[in-house]
């Protein structure tokens, strides 16, 4: 990553609040136009990091740079109004007494009336709000309110846009759709953005890269694909996606012995022959196969429209999850055939 394209540079940041460490040695870099997501459970520090970037939260160690300009370090913080950072909040924070046009133009007062009008018209078209400019927030649907908040945030062309769980008020089915729409708009405008969320589907739909946070640290900074298929820690494996841990024994640096039989793949060099490990198995790693010699009993089932998610009990007593097409409607207690079809071997030392 060349410095010329670097927009956000967070270096070894700590935040302490009332003698408690909230963030510890957090670093990340974002290029101009890149979209990132901070993903993690409540209390992991993701909103604190967002507030530190915005200038609302002082840092106790490290530095934060935006476009090579120092924004924060210990005992120094550039005031938020001079950071030129846009914000979209959880409650959207639209002014109820202002119409759509007035909400969008609120941050454009430094421009002439003509420049304000041109910029407003552009973001109205971009967010598909044309002909809505005279309506007030209460006259709009939830999705339209989201687009007004986004239009207002990007209208001043901020250095960075920070989004603090902005889709949490929407129905779950709508969140992923709106996140995808917002991504298209941000990419069209080449906006650098950071989304905070605890919803992995929002993060997957929105971000180029994802930082999974746990206990004040970034446990893994990676693409959505790698976060899901190649988690680096047990926490990431458990938090992102569904999965099960299957006991295994290392036979050599490319073979595991499991109750499914020998499984081949590439293992990290620090595992030795005979090591006891746990193999991460996702539901999509266990296809339903009526012709397989390996069977498991259906313990639980969840209908998901196009597919069932089955919880299966193996002969050893261990359980795994399995996706099957919904026309394979098996009953609780029924044995079904399965096989293991792994593209990657993700293993952790046995606990």
Which pLDDT belongs to residue 3? 56
Which pLDDT belongs to residue 274? 95
Q: Count of CB atoms within 10 A of residue 44's CB?
A: 24
Quote the CA–CA distance of 342 and 238 in Å, as a whole number.
18
Q: Which residues pair with 15 in a beta bridge?
A: 23
DSSP of 127-158: TT-TT-TT--GGGS-HHHHHHHHHHHHHTT--
Which pLDDT belongs to residue 110? 86
76-102 burial by CB neighbour count: b if 16+ within 10 A, else e? Answer: ebeeeeebebbbbeeebebeeeebbbe
Which pLDDT belongs to residue 281? 95
**243, 197, 235: which is closest to 49 by C-alpha?**
197
**For each of the chain's 351 residues, which pLDDT tens digit applies?**
445 589 999 999 999 998 899 999 999 999 999 999 999 999 999 999 999 999 999 999 999 999 999 999 999 999 999 999 999 988 888 999 999 999 999 989 888 999 999 999 999 999 999 999 999 999 998 888 989 999 999 999 999 999 999 888 888 878 888 899 999 999 999 999 999 999 999 999 999 999 999 999 999 999 999 999 999 999 999 999 999 999 999 999 889 999 999 999 888 768 899 999 999 999 999 998 888 889 999 999 999 999 999 999 999 999 999 999 988 899 999 999 999 888 789 999 998
Which pLDDT belongs to residue 4? 57
Which pLDDT belongs to residue 49? 97
């Amino acid at each position: 990553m060349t410095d010329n394209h670097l927009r956000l540079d967070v270096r070894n940041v700590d935040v302490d609040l009332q003698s408690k460490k909230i963030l510890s040695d957090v670093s990340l870099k974002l290029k101009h136009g890149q979209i990132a997501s901070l993903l993690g459970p409540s209390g992991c520090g993701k909103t604190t990091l967002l507030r530190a970037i915005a200038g609302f939260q002082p840092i106790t160690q490290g530095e934060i740079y935006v476009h090579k300009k120092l924004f924060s370090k210990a005992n120094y913080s550039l005031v938020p109004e001079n950071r030129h950072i846009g914000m979209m909040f959880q409650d959207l924070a639209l002014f109820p007494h202002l119409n759509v046009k007035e909400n969008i133009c609120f941050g454009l007062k430094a421009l002439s009336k003509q420049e304000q009008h041109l910029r407003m018209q552009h973001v109205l078209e971009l967010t598909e709000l044309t002909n809505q400019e005279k309506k007030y927030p209460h006259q709009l649907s939830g999705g339209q309110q989201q687009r007004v908040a986004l239009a207002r945030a990007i209208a001043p062309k901020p250095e960075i846009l920070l989004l603090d769980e902005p889709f949490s008020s929407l129905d779950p089915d709508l969140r992923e759709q709106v996140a995808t729409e917002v991504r298209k708009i941000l990419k069209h405008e080449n906006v650098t953005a950071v989304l905070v969320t605890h919803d992995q589907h929002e993060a997957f739909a929105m971000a180029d890269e994802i930082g999974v946070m746990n206990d004040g640290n970034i446990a893994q900074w990676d693409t959505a694909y790698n976060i899901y298929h190649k988690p680096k820690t047990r926490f990431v494996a458990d938090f992102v996606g569904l999965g099960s841990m299957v006991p295994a024994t290392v036979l050599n640096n490319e073979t595991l012995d499991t109750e499914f039989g020998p499984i081949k793949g590439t293992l990290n060099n620090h595992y030795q022959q005979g090591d006891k490990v746990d193999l991460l198995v996702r539901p999509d790693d266990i296809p339903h196969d009526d012709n397989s010699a390996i069977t498991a009993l259906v313990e639980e089932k969840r209908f998901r429209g196009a597919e069932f998610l089955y919880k299966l009990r193996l002969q050893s007593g261990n359980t795994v999850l399995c996706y099957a097409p919904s026309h394979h409607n098996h009953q609780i207690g029924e044995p079904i055939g399965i096989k293991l079809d792994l593209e990657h071997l993700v293993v952790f030392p046995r606990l």
